[in-house]
Every structure is written in structure tokens, then in C-alpha cells.
Amino acid sequence: MKRSHQLSLAVALALGLAACGQKEEPKKAASAPAAPAGPTITIAHAGPLTGSIAHLGKDDENGVALAVEHANAKKIMIDGKPVTFRMMSEDDQADPKVGTTVAQKLVDAKVAAVVGHLNSGVTIPASEIYGKAGIPVISGSATNPALTERGIKTVFRTVGRDDQQGPAIAAYIANELKAKKVAIVDDKTAYGEGIANEVEKTLKAAKVQVVGRERTTDKETDFKAILTKIKSRNPDVVFHGGMDATGGPMLKQARELGIKAAFAFGDGACTDEMGKLAGTAAEGMVCSQAGLPKEAANKEFVDAYNKKFGDIKQYAPYFYDGTMAVIEAMKKANSTDPAKFAPEMFNVSFAGATGKVEFDAKGDRKDAEMTIFKVEGGKIKPIAIVKGGVSTPFKMDGAAAPAAPAAPAAPAAPAKPAPMKDEKKK
């Protein structure tokens, strides 16, 4: 019994020591609740992605894509939830009929907003469809005044109007080129006819003789018949309201016919493409754009765009700012519902790639500048800025460079927005 009792004590002692040597497992901390999943919001781009001015449409699309990428890098919160933006892009072929079909497709897709179209002649009918659906549309290139004169409260633009641009280039023709006689050609589109009308009206008011008004189309390739008529009238300047796809060949054919007159164009043909299409005939031509030149866009935008897409063609910075204006309106409304954020478009004010972006009661950009360019060495180069009817020489080192948009904070390799496709300007 004694031995048994001693054995029991030894076992008990050993068990106690073993128990003392065990460590208590720490309790796991309660896992934090998962962040609420945020919505994915579709912002559409629409413009000509095929055809003779696809280079301009692609440039605009790139501007939207870059804005979407930058916005996503900022991890924007709306209504307490993280929002992801995506781009849906459609080809309107610069055709009003195709444009309205595209507009209905985007409405049916329930996009939050549309940044487009490029051409006024496409944007105007398409905007009727967006307006009925309550979806904001903002163009970075459509300049016909009629776009914002119909009382539709969901239509905006980040560029100036042709009743600002037309007088600017007309004044340059009269005052700087010293023209006494001018011939005018338009391509029968809403843009081409509209800007030609504004130029003609301003020239006549300045007592400059308009010696002829000829008409062609945006699909024409042979201009020798109307150029022969123009040659017989011996103008000092020929103004063409149309796109670079027609303006380039027209200018080249004019020189082949021995026409010595200076040539002037609106923004549809104010691109470096003119040097390619017209060759040396483009040298010395002048043209206008309904905004500041790309050379004046802020450096952060230019560097980001050039790194991702190459050289800016024309209005990419204005489509970038159009996209950012939509997102700013969403933030002000704290909603991605078009019915709630569309009214806030009139209240946005921010430093964009093209300067301060604000809209007036019609949806036009406030204090829009015009730029006059001249082709030198095959490239368009800005020579003057016109604002409020006052022209000042353009100097890059002295230009009032627009403030940079807020840079995204340490973006973690943002995913490239993939355009969704079914896959002419103004």
C-alpha cells in the first residue's frame, strides 16, 4: 500500500508539472469586416474610330481612357463606397445616322455619361437621345453653336464655339493676312457650314469682299472643278470649313492648279495631318482651334499621355477634362445616378489638363480661348491666343500654363481600361 501510494503521488506530480509547462494558445483577434463592395460605373466614349478621321477619334478615345485610369488610381469614394470606372467606346463613323444608333445603344447599356461625339453633325442628333434618357453628354470638340442652344440641360462641351472661333480666324485673315478678297468653301456638314457662315459674316462686317461661296462634301476627293472657279476670281485667301481629310487634298490640288492664294481652315483641318496630306503645299497655311493648343496643356497630362499613347493629335486633353468633369459632378452629388449628378455639372470647377474647367448656364465652357496656328516645317505651330476678342502672341515660355490636375497618389499599377466595342469631326 505504501509503495502504491508513493506511485500515485509521483504520477500526480508529473501530471501537474506537465500541465504547468503547457502554453495557453492566444485568442485570435476578430477579423475586420470586409470593405463594402463598390459599384463599377461605365463612362462611354463615342466618336469616329474608323474612316478618314479615325486618327482624331482615337486621340479623343485615348483622352477618356487616360482620365478613367487616373480616376481609378485615386480610389474615389462616392456614397461611402469605392467606385471603379470603366470605359465603353463606340464607333460612330462620323455619320449622324450611325451616331444616333450608337446613342441608343449606349442608353440601353445604361452608361452613366457619354464623352463625345467628335463631330457637331453627329453630336447634335445624338444628344437628343441622351437628353430624353437624362444622360449627360459632353464633347471635347463639337463647336457648332446649335449644340448648346436647344435648352437641353444635359449637354456640355469643354471647347469654345464656332461663333467664337469663326470670328477669331476671320479677324486674322483680315488683319494679319491683309486679305481684300476671300473665297469660302464648306463641306455641307453642321460643322463645316457653321464655321464657314461665321467666317463669312465676320469678313463682311470687316468690309472684306467674299468673292465666292462654294460647297463640297466631307467624302469628296476631287476638288478641281470648284478650285477652277475660285482661281478665276483671284482671291487673296481661301477659307475651307471642313476636316483635314478633305482640306489636305484640296490644298494640294489648289497648288497644282497654280492658285497662289493663302489658305485658312478651322479646327477640323488644324492638325499635323495636313502636312502629310498636302505635303509642301501645306506650308504657310493658317488655321484655328477652339481652345488652347496642346503645347499649353499641363505637363503631367502631356507626359502621361505621351508615355501611354504617343503624340497628342488634337483634342485629347479636352476629352480628358470632359471625363473628369463628369467624375467631379458625381463627387459633388455624392451619387453616380445621372438624375442626381447631371445638375451638378453646372457647378463643377476644377483645374484640368486644359486650364480651369467651368460651364455656363447653357453648358458651354466659360472663358474659352481660341488659338491661331501656322504650318511651319510640316507641323502646325501656335502663333496667337484669342480670348474675349483680344489676340496676343503665343509664347510657350510666357504662356499661362494651366494648373495640373491632381496627381493620383502612388498609383499601384492601375489596370488599363479596356474599351468595349462592337468589334467623321464636328
pLDDT mean across residues, the chain: 88
Rounded-to-integer distance, Cα 154 and Cα 164, Å: 22
pLDDT above 90 for 17? no
Average pLDDT over residues 194-220: 97
User: Out of 3.40.50.410, 3.40.50.2300, 3.40.50.620, 3.40.920.10, which CATH number does the structure's domain 40-159+295-367 have?
Assistant: 3.40.50.2300
pLDDT above 80 for 335? yes
- DSSP conformational letter for 89: E
pLDDT above 60 for 424? no
Within 83-218, strands assigned E span 84-91, 113-116, 137-139, 155-157, 181-186, 209-215
415 or 50, greater pLDDT: 50
Helix (H) or strand (E) segment spanning residue 5: helix 2-21
168 or 12, greater pLDDT: 168
- Cell numbers found for residue 21: 509547462
Rounded-to-integer distance, Cα 286 and Cα 363, Å: 29
DSSP helix/strand/coil, 351:
strand
Instruction: Name residues whose C-beta falls within 8 Å of residue 354's C-beta, 6 or more positions apart in sequence.
Output: 158, 291, 292, 296, 297, 317, 318, 321, 402
pLDDT above 80 for 116? yes
Q: What confidence category does residue 418 fall into, taking pLDDT thresholds of 50, 70 and 90?
A: very low
Contact 110, 85 (CB under 8 A): no
First vs last C-alpha separation in the chain: 111
pLDDT above 70 for 87? yes
DSSP helix/strand/coil, 105:
helix
Q: Which residues of 97-118 are buried (b: 16+ CB within 10 A; e: fewer)?
A: ebbbbbbebbbeeebbbbbbbb
Q: Which is nearest to 217 in space by CA: 199, 243, 239?
A: 243
Report the 10 Å Cβ neighbour count for 167: 21
pLDDT above 50 for 14? no
Task: Give me the DSSP letters along 160-194.
Answer: --HHHHHHHHHHHHHHTS--SEEEEEE-SSHHHHH
Q: What is the four-CA torsion angle of 130, 134, 136, 139, rounded to 10 degrees?
A: 20
Rounded-to-integer distance, Cα 330 and Cα 335, Å: 5
Residues forming a β-bridge with 43: 87, 113
pLDDT above 90 for 160? yes
Contact 340, 347 (CB under 8 A): no
Query: Looking at residue 36, what is its pLDDT?
Result: 59
pLDDT above 70 for 413? no
Radius of gyration from C-alpha coordinates of the chain: 30
pLDDT above 60 for 204? yes
CATH entry 2.40.100.20 includes domain 163-289: no
The per-residue pLDDT for range 261-277, each reduced to its tens digit, is: 999 999 999 999 999 99
Domain boundaries, the chain: 40-159+295-367, 163-289
Domains 40-159+295-367 and 163-289 in one fold: yes
416 or 152, greater pLDDT: 152
Could you tell me if residue 79 is left (phi over 0), alpha (psi between -120 and 50 degrees) or otherwise beta? left
Average pLDDT over residues 247-252: 98
- The rounded percent of the chain whose pLDDT value lies above 70 is 85
Rounded-to-integer distance, Cα 271 and Cα 269, Å: 6
Rounded-to-integer distance, Cα 87 and Cα 90, Å: 10
| Secondary structure string (H, E, C) spanning 318-339 | HHHHHHHHHHHHHHHHCCCCHH
| Secondary structure string (H, E, C) spanning 223-284 | CHHHHHHHHHHCCCEEEEECCHHHHHHHHHHHHHCCCCCEEEECHHHCCCHHHHHHHHHHCC
pLDDT above 70 for 71? yes
- DSSP conformational letter for 394: -
Rounded-to-integer distance, Cα 382 and Cα 289, Å: 9
pLDDT above 70 for 69? yes
The per-residue pLDDT for range 95-107, each reduced to its tens digit, is: 999 999 999 999 9
pLDDT above 60 for 360? yes
